[in-house]
Amino acid sequence: MDTKIIQKATDMYLTLGFKSVTMDDIASEMGISKKTIYQHFENKNSLVEAVTMNLFETISCGIDAILTMGKNPIEELFVIKDFVLKNLKNESTSPIYQLQKYYPQIHKTLMSRQFDKMGDCVLVNLKKGMEQNLFRDDINVELIARFYFAGMTSIKDAELFNPIQFSTKEVQEAYLEYHLRGICTSKGVAILEQLIKNNNQ
């Protein structure tokens, strides 16, 4: 039952927002009593935490699988971006921003785990790109990895990037292109532009 509750809550939180969805809403959607949910999760805070960490693990495992596909580092970032967007839904509810605003401690824990995971992935990606002559060999990988993480975190701010004005997909794609154009060699830029062209077809 834990898994079913988490799955339903995840779907509703990502679609409607962490703030908007109540325990009553989840119980009603599942056709169970609110009391049943409280037998598995002490309160909404504990359910939000379970949903957040479960989603983090799902995305982390998916990224690990993508990293074994042997794609070049530019294409790899595009595939990861598409995978994350699919799992977070391309909605205008800004779930991460709501998490930060209404559940700051859970958000802080998530950011720490994301930094550990994403930091390692980006470092490997940057080094691989340099080895393949797709990324410039004069970049400071530790610094660029932090720039990338900071940017990925900031673009989830709904006040800076109003989801009604800018779709999540639009913002993610523009940021990824911005990041890659700053570090790509001419060989890398050619691959990047082909990927953008293919995505726009």
Cα Rg of the chain (Å, integer): 19
- Collapse the DSSP code of 133 into the 3-class scheme (helix H, G, I; strand E, B; otherwise coil) and give the result: coil
Helix H or strand E encompassing 136: none
Going by C-alpha positions, the residue among 89, 94, 100, 107 that lies closest to residue 17 is 94
CA distance 36 to 4: 12
Burial bucket for residue 64 (CB in 10 Å: 0-12, 13-18, 19+): exposed
- Domain range for 63 is 2-200
For residue 167, the model assigns a pLDDT of 86
CATH number (domain holding residue 54) = 1.10.357.10
Q: What angle do CA 122, 13, 53 make, to 5 degrees?
A: 45
Buried b or exposed e, range 101-113, using 16+ CB within 10 angstroms: eebeebbeebbee
Query: How many helices (H) does the chain have, and how many strands (E)?
Result: 10, 0
Number of domains composing the chain: 1
What are the tens digits of pLDDT across the range 107-160? 999 989 988 888 889 999 999 999 999 999 999 999 999 999 999 989 888 889
Amino acid at 126: L
- Residue 135 pairs with which residues in a beta bridge? 184
pLDDT averaged over 10-residue windows placed end to end, the chain, 201 residues = 94 90 96 95 96 94 94 96 83 74 93 88 96 98 95 87 87 96 98 92 75
CA 140 to chain centre: 24
